[in-house]
Structure 1
């Protein structure tokens, strides 16, 4: 199915939006229990350099997701409600794909290869199919994050090592220290590196290759993350995630 966005229309839209990016970054989430994390981040030198980088990037290039969706994962899932963290690499780098939730795309957009592989594993693991829009997972307590929260068009990993990793590390640290019984699904080397300090006495950790076509056959397929997480949640006294909802 084709995207609703024409490439030219999307670029014009982003040009109009970018003037407010610096304001957006300055008004990072202060509700849903994330305020302590973002306060620490906004007081760091990394935040200042990241903000300058993003303003320049979004002004000079076509970047994703839309500025207003950069922190969408934190707006849809409160700190209190987090039961599962899925951590990937960086947002989709095609027009109209990235929606601010890791691996999710709007329903009327073509399914990216990584998400298609996730659906293959989902079907083989627990059976069934689901929408490409993963926001209903977020509402169940699944925090859908990437190691980087932005990317330049057609250039994967282009916003790597610019400061996002510090924020994600702070998020994981806060969850690790101040919650218990959270299931962490780490897909790919970047995610695995950020998850090195997770306390396995308190939480459950599921690591595999990234679902990208470049690595899915090197440990993602057959990893059964969805059933394994639900089994772990039951053991922890939590409700299962409805992955097909």
Structure 2
């Protein structure tokens, strides 16, 4: 059984690590869906995936997906699967645009991640530059940020999905773009992400990583990917930033 003293030491170590990460970061690279907002909070990702599958099947492409892929609730899984079999084809371009349109619809009903807005504004006020590095469409990120009055905190540094889907995370392409555009060394940046692909992309780019996951399953997945620390709330980040200030 863990003693109160041991738990207190663990909390102190985590706080110290968090403050160190924040104190060294000249640029913070945010994943979008998760750390900034819950994009598909009201516009179900599962329904979006099913709609994409229905469209593929209406094109006579039922056999393009495996049974497991047809059961996915993640639209990005479908996009990657089709791109692997028809790389950079008109079919992939059409599917990607259909997903983008669904993401744009979802942006209007997305839920802000608790504490994300004040963390973003506080970091900006402290003079730290922010960027978005995401597998979502940059058009979607722009729409959401403008709706929240957060555009000035990030623009022009929004790096999202391109036509070349092989460059989606865990490929570090979007992180490298952000580092290059801001003239930042990897060690002087920090990425906040909620998936193993975020963690792997940060590791490949040489960027320190802070994990965020609301639920136990997500935190376990991040830890298995080698992330640490992993938070279940951005509130400690806000407190640490206020300590820095």
Structure 1 or 2, whichever has the larger Rg, is 2
- TM-score normalised according to structure 2 size: 0.35
Per chain length, whose mean CA-contact separation is higher, i.e. which structure has more relative contact order (CA < 8 Å, sep 6+)? 2
